[in-house]
Amino acid sequence: MQDSEEFSKLAKQVLRDPVLLQKLSDRVYEIMLQDLRNQRDRCPSSRRLF
């Protein structure tokens, strides 16, 4: 239960600070792009041909 309380405090801190929120958003975006690239590399035959 302690972990969820710590995450809750951190989430509130991030939501109150626009700079932290932007950094978090940018990092999530970077991770998602990397994941999409990895998926594409694993399944090259699933690429659209147009």
Element (H, E) at 23: helix 18-42
Beta carbons within 8 Å of 46's beta carbon, 6+ residues apart: 40
Residue 19 clears pLDDT 60, i.e. is over it: yes
Can you tell me which residue has the tokens 């690239």?
Answer: 37
Q: Sign (positive/negative) of CA torsion 16, 22, 27, 31?
A: positive
Write out pLDDT tens, residues 25-48. Answer: 999 999 999 999 998 888 877 665
Average pLDDT of the chain to the nearest whole number? 89
For the entire predicted model, the pTM comes to 0.69
Token couple for 42: 């694993």
Query: Band of the pLDDT at 50, cuts 50, 70, 90?
Result: very low
